[in-house]
Structure formats: C-alpha cells, structure tokens
Structure 1
C-alpha cells in the first residue's frame, strides 16, 4: 500500500489537474485481479503482486490510466455500445476494453509519466491516434491479437461489464452518481482554469463536461434511430450476426442485413440575432450529433445559413468549422441546400426568427430552438411575431 500511494502522489505531481479524481478512488486489495482495475463506482481493485513488480513511475501511469476510464465514462459508453450493437460475451468485452485503452493511451503519457509496460496503443492495429472509443470499435479488428491481449482487464469501469470481484452498487466505499458527477466537474474546472497544462484531448473533454446533457440530444438520438429503421433505408450485409435463413441452407453461412448508418445534415442559423455563445453551443451539438451516428464524421455535414445558405461542409473536426453569416434569417434556403445531399435527418439549430419551408422535407427533421423572451422580433414592426416551427418538425429548446 505504501508503494501504491507513493505512485499516486507522483501521478498527482505530474498531472495536477487529475488530483481530485485520483484522490476520489478507493483502493480495494484483491489477489484475483490481474493488474489494476476500476468499477463504475470509483473503486480501484489492485493485485499486490502487480504492484510489487511495477516501478513507482510506471505505477503512477497505471493510476492515471484507470482514472481516465472513469472520467471519460467508458462504463456508460461501453454499456450503450453493447446494447445498441448486441455485442456481448468475453470477446466483445475485450474489444471494448482495448478500444477504451486506445482512446486514452495515445495522449496521457510523457512529461514525467512513463508509459507502463504492456500499455496498448492504436498503432498496434495500424490505427490513428486521437479517435474515440466508438470509432476504434467500428474500425478495429482483433484478428491474430486476441490471444496475446487476453490478459487485459481494466474492470467494469472500462467497458461496462461487471466482474466477479466487484462490490457492486451496494458495496462499501462506492460513490453515488451525484458524487461521481461532482468529481468530473472539479477536474474539468481545473483543466479549464489552466488550459495550457492539459493535452488537447483532455481540454476537449473538459469543455464537454461543462456543457450539460440536453433533452435535445435524446430527441436527436430517437430521430436518428427512427431514420435508420425507416422503410426503404439502405442496408449492408454483415456476418457479425448470421442470417436466420442459414438454417435452410445446410453448410452455408448467410450474412444478415444491417441498417446503413444515417446521413445527417445540420443547418446552423448564423444570422445577427444568434449570439456567439449560441453558435459555440451549436458547434458542441454538432460534435454530439457525430457521436450519435457512431462517431462517423463522414456522415455529418454542416451548412451555415443567414439570409442565404452556404456550402455544405463535411464534418472533420467540429472545432475547425467556420460559421459564416451575420445578416438576416431565411432558413428556407438552408433546407433547400441540405436536401440536395438527400440526408436521412435534417437538424436545424436556430432562434426560430425565420420563415419556414411551406412543405415538409422528404426526410425526418429536428429543430433545436435557442430560447428567446416573448417580445417582438422585428424592431421596425412592433406587431411582428415570428412563425412557430411547423408541425412536421420535432422541436426542442436548447439550454
């Protein structure tokens, strides 16, 4: 225990912005744990033999690695991925653990924190750095590597699947949901206070932690899922889940049909009545939309629109999107431009002070409204009241 706590102090020294999270972990000694692992309730299960073998500096890296799983909610994200993709069993659990490790290992080491022996990097499978766990799960293949990585087990806090040694929600020294959220908030607050001390991936995480979850995102997710299951939506063949028709053809394995991922076009109102802060919120929502379609940035395009629509820009990085506008508002041109790409879902982010298309688009439409006080929108016409969004759009207030 003395060596383990010394390693934690070293981790706090070289990564001070993670101090609140590192000290929030409760240590549980357990000889059945392969190395170190965490559960969703911020308990850290530790093998004494593993601690004895590791140098203090590398052990500090393991501390940072494990707490990173919890801060980035790999438990919740892993559960959602398993549920949505019907990906259960030991092999799928290992895939989620490896993908979560890839997301955090590419930028947490260095500068006084050596990479521990055995830490896996995206380059192991020829993948790029800087991607999300969901993106690695979509692209990674474990052919030929599963056997050599079978030892890897960071616990339920890394992939959403509980382990036999975990104490569960009713066990001692677990943190409640409110306590876990408070720890994340304190860490994010520290990173935003000294942004130069944290890598870009952590700064992006801190910005999202300060942007509270919106009912808007759940609504968008429902619209996306509805678009995927719509009659006539495209489909891909997949052997991940064999077709039920295989039973009628002995000796032949037939693929099943999987829904094609939806294409989303986001129309952002850039008129003068939309503030810079609201445009910043819109960009954060674009990043959330990208995650809603499984991290497929190639499926999301963005259109800036005031009185006229700009060019549909493919989403590469939400932080680099240039929003052009500042004049009047007419989202009809934005909808017209968006429908040229034949998306499955059109998302409009606006303050609502705009004319709307007279006819419903041929795809599902979601409108995110920035709230406005009840007053006239046109200073030259005190009797002017903007039209409410049409009934064919699913509407929710942002913020």
Structure 2
C-alpha cells in the first residue's frame, strides 16, 4: 500500500490537474484482479502482485490511466455503444476496453510518466491517434490484438461490463453520481485554468465535459422560423378574405390582415477555406431551410460567395445546385447581392473567416457557423484572427 500511494503522489506531482480525481479513488486490494481496475463508482481494485512487479513511476502511469477511464465516462459510453449496436458477446467488453485505451494512451504518457509494458496504442492497428473510443470501435474489429490481450481488464469503469471482483452499487466507499460529477467538474476547471499544462486531448475533454452538444439542425431551423415569423415580417392587408369585423359595419368590406410567406436568401461561403463536406452540408441545410418556411422553394434563393458574389439563384433542387467559388472570402459582397432580392431573412452559411457588413441589414439575419479549431486563417499574417459574427446576427454553430 505504501508503494501504491507513493506512486499516486508521483502522479499528482507530474499531473497536478488530475489531483482531485486521483485522491477521489478508493483502493480495494484483491488478488483476483489481473492488474489494476476501476468500477463506475470510483473504486480502484489492485492486485498486490502487480504492484510488487512495477516501479513507482510505472505505477503512477497506471494510476493516471485508470482515472482517465472514469473521467471520460467510458463506463456509460461503453454501455450506450453496446445498446445502440446490440453488441453483447463475450469479447465485446475487451474490444471496448482496448478502444478506450486507444483513446487515452496516445497522450497521457511522457513528461514523468513512462508507458508501462503492454500498453496498447492505435498504431498497433495502423489507426490514427486522437480519436474517441466509439470511432475506434467503428473502424476496426480489433481481431488482431484481442486474442493477445485476454489478460487486459480495466474493470467496468472502462467498458461497462461488471466484473466478479467488483462491489457493485451497494458496496462501501463508492461515490454517488453527484460526487462523481463534482470531481469531473473540479478537474475540468483545473485544466481550463492552466491549459498549457495539459495535452490537447485533456483540453478538448475539459471544454466539452459539461457542455452538452447542441442539436444544431433543430437550432438552425428554429432560428430561421423565428426570424421569418417575427412580428412585422410579411404582414399585409388583403381583400381576398374579408375581415370578420365587416359584419359590424353593414355595407363596408374590410380587408383582413394576412401574412405573406417570407422570402429567404441563403448566402453560402464557397471560399477555399470551406471543405467539400461542409459545402455538401450547406446544401442539405438549404433544403432544410426551405422546409422551415413551409416548403415554398420559390421563396428561397441561394448566393454563392467567395471574394465576390454570384447571382442569386432560385431554389429548385438543393441537391443539384452548383456552387461556384474557391478563392478568398468576403461575405460583404454576398450580403449586398442578397439584399437586392429584398428578402425577409438572410441566412449565411460560413466558416466565419470573412469581413462582415459594417451596418445591420434591414432584415433579420441568421449565421450558420462552421467551427474552426487551431487553423491558421492567414498564411501571410499568422497573428491574424478574424472578427466574430456581428451582434445583430443570430449565430448557430454547425456540427
């Protein structure tokens, strides 16, 4: 036990942002555990023989490895993957364990933590590093290494299948769901407070740990509908259907107040910084926008824009629409072209690496923003960072 706790202190010294999680684990000695393992309730099961064979530095790496399974919620993610894909076979737990190890082993070692012998890496199957457990499971059957790693078992905290040595939800010294979330929150706050101390994988985890991914398709459709149905947009008097108030004024026909379907112009960023996949996604969003305004495709037009804007093309079939561009980016010309059609709503689908109009357009504006992380936006000026979308636009991040 002294050697094990010394290794934990070493792990805290070299990975201080994980201290709250490392000290939250309760150690359970068990000779039936192959090495070290964790369950979903933050108990760490340890084999005394395994501790005797390892050095303090290697044990510190195993500490970090096991707590990484819990912080990244591999238990719940493994159960969800098995349920969605109906994979409950005897070897599926080991597959999920290996995929979870691929996710965390690519960047937790080094800088004071030597990689233990037998640690699996994505390169063993010629897979890219930096992916998630679910992506590794979808990309490979892992048949080449499963038979060689039958001893590998990090517990239900890594793959979601309860093991014989685990105490279960009613056992002693387990953490409640609220306590587990509190530990994750403290770790995430520590990483975000000193981001230079953590690898890229941990920084991404900290950014997303308590931010539920938003259903951006629903958000974009709701933003378009809200903009198109706002008070004052499309309201007009019409004699096609007399007002019900005409009955109170004999001999006089009063017009009724009708709402004209809104006209929507979609400005698509076709510059070289937007990928083909994003352009394909933009066309799908154009079709969704047409549905959001009642299916009236004749009221939806599209402007392709890189450094210069093309002609506003009426929407027939979004799937067969040709997008022209590939140069620089200046959506100001796209907005100018769109305003010539006098739309009620302008929807701009862009990566945001563009100058924006200096004045607010006389209609409502929705910006669908393709996210950009860590990409240099101007090779001639590496310190250049584009301005964000203006305050007068409703912004929805796509993807």
Question: Could you tell me the TM-score, scaled by structure 1's length?
Answer: 0.59
- 2:319 corresponds to which residue? 340
1:214-262 Cα deviation digits (max 9, x unpaired) = 6x55x97xx9xxxxxxxxxxxxxxxxxxxxxxxxxxxxxxxxxxxxxxx
- Verify the 8 A CA contact 1:14 1:112 in the aligned structure 2: yes
- How much has 1:191 moved relative to structure 2? 0.4
- Verify the 8 A CA contact 1:11 1:61 in the aligned structure 2: yes
- Verify the 8 A CA contact 2:267 2:302 in the aligned structure 1: yes
- 2:204 corresponds to which residue? 204
Compared CA separation, residues 27 and 124, structure 1 to 2 (3 A):
same
1:207-218 matches, cutoff 5 A: 207-211=207-211, 213=212, 216-217=214-215
- Verify the 8 A CA contact 2:35 2:50 in the aligned structure 1: yes
- 1:114 corresponds to which residue? 114
1:69-108 matches, cutoff 5 A: 69-108=69-108
- Verify the 8 A CA contact 2:265 2:346 in the aligned structure 1: no
* Alignment partners' CA distance in 2, 1:168 and 1:338: 56
* Alignment partners' CA distance in 1, 2:12 and 2:182: 19
Moved more, 164-173 or 135-144: 135-144
1:252-263 matches, cutoff 5 A: none
> For 1:309, what is the secondary structure of its paired residue?
strand
- Verify the 8 A CA contact 1:331 1:356 in the aligned structure 2: no
Compared CA separation, residues 380 and 15, structure 1 to 2 (3 A):
closer
1:309-388 matches, cutoff 5 A: 309-311=268-270, 313=275, 333=302, 339-340=318-319, 355=345
- How much has 1:89 moved relative to structure 2? 2.2
- Verify the 8 A CA contact 1:74 1:157 in the aligned structure 2: yes
- Verify the 8 A CA contact 2:156 2:163 in the aligned structure 1: yes
* 4+ long deviations beyond 6 Å: 266-270, 378-381, 384-387
- How much has 1:142 moved relative to structure 2? 2.6
* Alignment partners' CA distance in 1, 2:207 and 2:76: 19
- How much has 1:124 moved relative to structure 2? 1.0
1:294-324 Cα deviation digits (max 9, x unpaired) = xxxxxxxxxxx995122363569xxxxxxxx
Compared CA separation, residues 341 and 160, structure 1 to 2 (3 A):
farther
- 2:48 corresponds to which residue? 48
Bigger Rg over Cα: 2
Compared CA separation, residues 181 and 331, structure 1 to 2 (3 A):
farther
1:139-169 Cα deviation digits (max 9, x unpaired) = 1233342221111000000011111111111
* Alignment partners' CA distance in 1, 2:29 and 2:85: 34
- How much has 1:77 moved relative to structure 2? 0.7
> For 1:131, what is the secondary structure of its paired residue?
coil
- 1:13 corresponds to which residue? 13
Compared CA separation, residues 24 and 332, structure 1 to 2 (3 A):
farther
Compared CA separation, residues 146 and 268, structure 1 to 2 (3 A):
same
* Alignment partners' CA distance in 2, 1:41 and 1:171: 9
- 1:147 corresponds to which residue? 147
* Alignment partners' CA distance in 2, 1:341 and 1:151: 54
- 2:259 corresponds to which residue? none
Question: Could you tell me the TM-score, scaled by structure 2's length?
Answer: 0.59
* Alignment partners' CA distance in 2, 1:154 and 1:19: 20
> For 1:27, what is the secondary structure of its paired residue?
strand
Compared CA separation, residues 117 and 315, structure 1 to 2 (3 A):
farther
Unaligned runs of 5+ in 2: 228-263, 279-298, 304-313, 322-342, 348-358, 367-395
- How much has 1:356 moved relative to structure 2? 9.1
Compared CA separation, residues 338 and 209, structure 1 to 2 (3 A):
farther
Aligned residues: 265
- Verify the 8 A CA contact 2:265 2:301 in the aligned structure 1: no
1:149-193 Cα deviation digits (max 9, x unpaired) = 111000000011111111111111111111111100100000011
Compared CA separation, residues 307 and 120, structure 1 to 2 (3 A):
same
Compared CA separation, residues 152 and 380, structure 1 to 2 (3 A):
closer
- 2:29 corresponds to which residue? 29
1:235-254 matches, cutoff 5 A: none
* Alignment partners' CA distance in 1, 2:104 and 2:186: 19
- 2:307 corresponds to which residue? none
Compared CA separation, residues 332 and 197, structure 1 to 2 (3 A):
farther
- How much has 1:106 moved relative to structure 2? 0.4
Compared CA separation, residues 108 and 337, structure 1 to 2 (3 A):
farther
